[in-house]
Structure 1
Amino acid sequence: MTGTARSWSVVTLGALVVVAEGYDLIVYGALLPKLVAEPGWGLTSASAGSIGSLVYLGMLVGALAGGPVCDRVGRRPFVNVSVAWFTLWTLACALAQAPWQLGAARLLAGVGMGAVIPAAVALAREHTPAHRTGLVVTILMAGIPIGGTVASLTGIAVLADHGWRLMFVIGAGLSLLVLGVSLARLPGSAADTAPDAPAHPSAAGAFAALFREHRALLTVLFAVTTFANLLTWYGLNTWLTTLMREMDYPLGSALTFSLCLNAGAVVGSLVLVLAAQRWGLREVAAVCGVLTAAGILVCAVGPRQTAVLLATITLIGAAAQTALTLVLASVANSYPTRIRASAVGWANGTGRAGAVVAPVLGGAVLAAGLGPSAVFLAFAASAVVAAVVMVVLAVRERRTPDGPGTPAPAALPAEVRS
């Protein structure tokens, strides 16, 4: 297999892993109306939101702990163990007989979901040239909204007649299939032969290195922007269906809005990454944050024209997903190979705190009687914060390039800049 073919093989396999995660992660938002109506469970919007946040708490733990461990033990085994872990606990969700059991299973599934992203991003980055990082990470992370799209389509097809448990069974089956492909075809890591690092840095050493050699401010800023981005993105994925129902749209239409959100994320991010190749990862990420906030404000107004809402939600999906993937691409380009998974894990893990807050925030706002528009306004504010931080990072990059893999704009004007 040629180097180029091997590179795209790694990216494709990594994307399949993320698709499986995306389904298992985003399916909860499609199930919320059914879970609230589950006989004997007594769930409210607030309590359902709290359960929804547990998967993101697990992802926070998995990403923060998993990145340094992955840098030490190797990408391939770490990816496969992580997929097996969240597959097991997704199946356990289907068997839950009480809210606490569902919450516990979602928490444990989240640990595997959070751990696999840094490993997949680091592995794909190691098999591709630096100037393609934006495209590679965009394709990889498109797996999450693709999985969300599959979850929405599956919900439209089976949720009304077969209930929410089958949705988790389907997700576990998809994850098991992807695990089999990954075990058979996913190659090993290039990190062991990297020229810029010892073969196996300790977990503590990899984490400490994120704050050394003038990286401390960069590391903190990446954490802030991923927190705000993930608060926006997973807040919408968790609450969009419910918010649309609160605004008197039927369940079928509300699921269609969720489908548009994730489909827009897939198609839009692949288009917008071309802009990043010309103008820079951080600059385009900042613009996407502004577009996300503007689109959410339109939803808060609640126009009755269905076409307007569909177009707006599709734009939100495209912009929000692109902002997130471009941030992760910039992280992957800004740190040396020996700590790359730790860096992505740090950004993704601290960002998961935003994903933990998002379901609880939405539920609390609704429980307070402030209405769906107030929930939309909260998520618009977090999108603005993410955009502002990306402007700061873009200015900082122009003054002092942050790390390896940052091509000079004058020499490579059409390629991705970290």
Structure 2
Amino acid sequence: MPSVPPVLDRTPPSVLLLCLACMTLEGYDVIAFGAALPFLLADQAWNVSVAQAGVLGSLTPVGMLVGAIGVGLLTDRLGRRRLVLLSAAVFSLAMLLCAAAPGVPAFAVGRLLVGLGVGGVLPSIAALVYEYSAPGRRNLNAALAFAGVGVGGALAALVSGAYGPQFGFRVVYLVGGAAALVVLPAALRFLPESLIHLRSRGRTDDALRWADRLGLDRDLATGPADDDGADPGRGRLRLLFSARYRATTILFGLATFLSLLVLFGLYTWLPQLMRSAGYELGSALSFLVVLNIGTAVGPLVVGRIADRIGSRRATAGSFLLAVVGIAVLSQPLPAGLLHAAVVLAGVGTVGTQILINVFVASRYPVRARATAIGTALSVGRLGGIVGPVYGALLVGAELPITALFLAFAAPALVGAIVVAAVPRGDGAPAGRGVRQVHGTTS
């Protein structure tokens, strides 16, 4: 019977705050494209078409795919901390490149590099939050940290609405790149390394120093390095596609694909869709602000519910919230009801992806969690690549506004079905919420 490592009983506030700050940078940088898109399309010097905008919008998910593939494998070997810092630096510098780009080619390179950095930071942040959370708060803490995506996205829309009319699309990227000057020095000093990673590399002294700095039980720094007793030489990818985990890995990849298709499609094209529905530019951007408020606040509630009822039902329910919210947007309703629908859509897009990350982490042993998250995100990035092009095709086809929104809602409905089909882990009974089973949650 393998020894069981001590259980964390509280979350260090500094870890959660720094992960939130990094995700706020990430959210701003990803959503900046959709926020600035109306001004980019209006820029006569570049004369970007709708089809070109769809391709440019897909470059960030392409970079995220490359980053997720590379870092999803490297983070378990090299550590979360260094990769978070490096990835955040890459996407912040890339934002400054977008701001200074003399033309579309340089801008395209910048958006690709933004994705590369974002794809690197996501698996590491998700794994750090999971590790430094008490078992009963993992979904809530993930929602708190990943609320930064919504906060950053709302800030991008606000900056675009306030300064875009005067300064054009470049100002949105300049502000996003400059914000890293505040966040990165703090993360460099205070963001800890994974204690599990340090133990597995025999760096007990470093693990003890971090445990002392964070006020944690020193046993967390000296406990067993592996939680499942598996052969440490066995490849992580081989484990993910072994008979035990193969169906789970495939379904998580498909669920993430559908989630990110809806997320990137909606984030890229929502302001333009609302303009097609007859709203002025300022009002259309306000919907993007509200969407991101929903992504920041809503998942906190959903995350807490997930800690009580389990990730499966909460994730499927979040997909269904996206279906309802997006479908309602297709109707000519009063502004208050439409804003409420946008909030639901926000909860059901980023909220769903947050819950999927935790759901993935709950189904694999510690040593493979970041790899599992990175693998799911790698497949999912294909959905992120398809989403903006999918939206461009729909907008370019000049379909009725109802058909446009329903076309975005359909993948979310399929996503709910896929999540419901994920096999149960370690024989956990239905309806029992989150519990510890051999070091993983069920």
TM-score (normalised: structure 2): 0.86
Pair 1:98-2:103 in alignment: yes
Q: CA deviation at 1:319?
A: 2.6
1:255 pairs with 2:260? no
Percent identical pairs in the alignment equals 38
- Among candidates 352, 373, 388, match of residue 402 of structure 2: 373
In the alignment, does 2:122 pair up with 1:117?
yes
Query: Is it true that 1:281 corresponds to 2:281 in the alignment?
Result: no
Describe the superposition over 1:23-64 as per-residue Cα deviations: whole angstroms up to 9, x where unpaired: 011011011111111123221111111101100110011112
* Structure-2 separation of matches of 1:226 and 1:411: 24
CA 1:223–1:126: 2 relative to 1, 3 Å:
same
Of 224, 227, 233, which aligns to 1:196?
Answer: 227
Greater Rg over alpha carbons, structure: 2
Alignment of 1:162-177 (within 5 A): 162-177=167-182
| 2:86 aligned partner | 81
CA distance in 1, matches of 2:344, 2:68: 28
Query: Per-residue displacement from partner, 1:180-239 (whole Å, max 9, x unpaired)?
Result: 11001111112232333799978x922222112510110000001111111111211111
Amino acid at match of 1:155: S
Task: Return the match for 1:221 from 251, 261, 286.
Answer: 251
Q: 1:43 aligns with which of 48, 59, 73?
A: 48
Contact residue 324 and residue 341 of structure 2 kept, 8 A: no
Q: Is the 8 A contact 1:21 1:175 kept in 2?
A: no
What are the residue-to-residue correspondences of 1:300-339 with 2, within 5 Å? 300-301=330-331, 303-339=332-368
The verdict on how the C-alpha distance between 1:115 and 1:388 changes in structure 2, with shifts beyond 3 A counting, is same
Cα 1:311–1:6 shift into 2, 3 Å: closer
CA distance in 1, matches of 2:323, 2:348: 9
The 8 Å contact of residues 191 and 199 in structure 1, kept in 2 or not, is answered as: no
Aligned to 2:60: 55
Q: Is the 8 A contact 1:90 1:169 kept in 2?
A: yes
The alignment's C-alpha RMSD in Å is 2.5
Residue from 116, 134, 141 that aligns with 1:129? 134
1:334-374 Cα distance to aligned partner (Å, 9 max, x none): 11111111111111221111111011011111212224433
Cα 1:267–1:169 shift into 2, 3 Å = same
Partner of 1:346: 375
Verify the 8 A CA contact 1:228 1:351 in the aligned structure 2: yes
Q: Distance in 2 between matches of 1:207 and 1:88?
A: 31
Distance of 2:10 and 2:317 partners within structure 1: 33
Aligned to 2:269: 239
Tell me, in whole angstroms, the C-alpha distance in 2 between the residues paired with 1:169 and 1:398: 45
Deviations 1:234-259 (A, max 9, x none): 21111100000111100110011001
**For residue 226 of structure 2, what is the amino acid of its counterpart?**
P
For 2:304 and 2:133, locate their aligned partners in 1 and report how far apart those are by CA, in whole Å: 17
Unaligned runs of 5+ in 1: none
Whether the 8 Å CA contact 1:261–1:313 is kept in 2: the answer is yes
Q: Specify the SS of the correspondent of 1:125.
A: helix
Distance 1:88 1:199 in 2: 40
Aligned residues of 1:68 and 1:339 also touching (Cα < 8 A): no
Q: Give the drift of 1:163.
A: 1.4
Q: Does the residue aligned with 2:82 lie in a helix, a strand or coil?
A: helix
Deviates more, 1:192-201 or 1:250-259: 192-201
Do the aligned partners of 1:328 and 1:344 also contact (CA within 8 Å) in 2? yes
